[in-house]
Structure 1
């Protein structure tokens, strides 16, 4: 890791998608792939389909709004100031009806590189379900 670095509000690699706008606050390349931190502004109607990770742990810290995390046996509504850790092999989905903001810490994951790869894809590539499945698996994201 290089010497101390400050990434100010509105800074970091920016990825603005239809459902959310992400800023990478700590890139996995800075930590040998061990850690990545993403500030994520969720747009109203945000929905992340059910998935799990085989290696990656996700830690969510909620800043604004209410986000529902849906697990196989319960749904948890998270509010500003709440933190939840999702270890590997736990199926989960997320929804945010009115929009919100959170920080996500990815341990042993390269989610920032996934965002970068998605940002370079065409609409035709996004429409290819098999390609999307392969890219997701490359970054330890497994959907049903």
Structure 2
């Protein structure tokens, strides 16, 4: 592969790796805020007069949303290329600079390719988690409104 082309591809792969990390971290931040907002509504709903089906369901939805957040945190396995290991291999096997650069390029490509599935999983989990948080908060508000209206 022509060296200039390889450099351009490496830059694109590095940008992809950074974008993958940003997307996963951003999704986790959104999920944390969604769960916190839902919890801030469910808490007062649970303190109102007597538990109703709405408060029970809002609590269940909040528990599922929290579980979704934990799943996303566990699923976040974004890989970075192991440069230290590649350099150790290069020294051990006596690779030239070009062979070492080729190995680093291969590892970067492999990391970006693997990360696509991780990003997809975390984003789908985040969509479901935010929806559960919204449902939980809505049910909590309805429970408080029903309680306030006396019925």
**TM-score (normalised: structure 1):** 0.21
Structure 2 length-normalised TM: 0.20
Higher strand share: 1
More helix by share: 2
Query: Greater Rg, structure 1 or structure 2?
Result: 2
